[in-house]
Amino acid sequence: MPSREPLRTVLFDLDGTLADTAPDMYAALIALQREQGVPALPFEVVRNQVSHGGAALVRLAFPDAQGDQFETLRQRFLILYSEHHLCHETRLFPGMDALLQAIENLGLNWGIVTNKPAWLTDPLVRAMNLHRRAVTVISGDTTPQRKPHPLPMLLACEQAACRPAQCLYVGDAERDIQAGRAAGTHTLIALYGYIDETQAPTTWGADAAIDHPEQILPWLPAASRLGAIS
């Protein structure tokens, strides 16, 4: 159900919610596997782990790596991703650009709250030409705490000049919903994102779940004036 207090801001998780970053992160991971002489994992196995970050992907590809070996692999993955695969195939999810335009046309604002570190987030947002449109971009190292802690959400609301009750947060991981709820925002689960069969999003306590970005439209004030997003 739409919020009782009109929304002023929509905040998005980055990987798996705003943008489909899985192809580029997969490319970096299989490049690392090739360097190490390890058979490449299928894309379908990797995709739904992307929202858990680089460490989770390296652990998936190299389950026996421990300690210094694991850290060396993780750092090499980040280098491959940042220097060679950051934004080759990454795109906004279908329908997302039209949604962002609808938000802007209504005089509302939108932003990003991600656990991705700023040294990866900022160049990616610039490469996608979103840096001048987003009112706030909060990365995993912007504040002392990351999601599921509410602090990143609260800072994003402050920078967007809205109260948490006037904010909607959309994410595809349980920590996204936990962070939004703890901060006092409304929350939606992006079921089109990186959610695997081991997760139970219906138990996360979000206000609702969506299968496509256009389903955010009814949450926006006066959305009926804009019609459906194609």
User: Residue 28's domain spans which residues?
Assistant: 22-84
Shortest CA distance to 147 belongs to which of 5, 11, 28?
11
Q: Do residues 15 and 69 share a domain? A: no
Pairwise CA distance, residues 60 & 38, whole Å: 12
Q: Do residues 34 and 131 share a domain? A: no
Select from 84, 106, 128 the last residue of a domain.
84
pLDDT along the chain (230 residues), means of 10: 74 98 97 96 94 93 96 97 96 97 95 97 98 97 98 98 97 98 98 94 97 94 54
- Active-site choice (13, 20, 24, 176): 13
Contact by Cβ (8 Å): 29, 36: no
Contact by Cβ (8 Å): 138, 114: yes
Q: Do residues 80 and 95 share a domain? A: no
Beta strands in 13-80 (DSSP E): 19-20
pLDDT of residue 221: 86
Q: Is residue 4 part of a domain?
A: no
pLDDT of residue 3: 44
Q: Do residues 115 and 155 share a domain? A: yes
Quote the tokens at residue 39: 């058979």
Q: Do residues 80 and 96 share a domain? A: no
* Total domains present in the chain: 2
pLDDT of residue 4: 62
- Active-site choice (15, 20, 172, 207): 15
Q: Do residues 80 and 97 share a domain? A: no
Query: Any catalytic annotation for residue 13?
Result: yes
**For strand 91-92 and strand 19-20, is the pairing parallel, antiparallel, or unpaired?**
antiparallel
Beta strands in 27-139 (DSSP E): 91-92, 109-113, 136-138
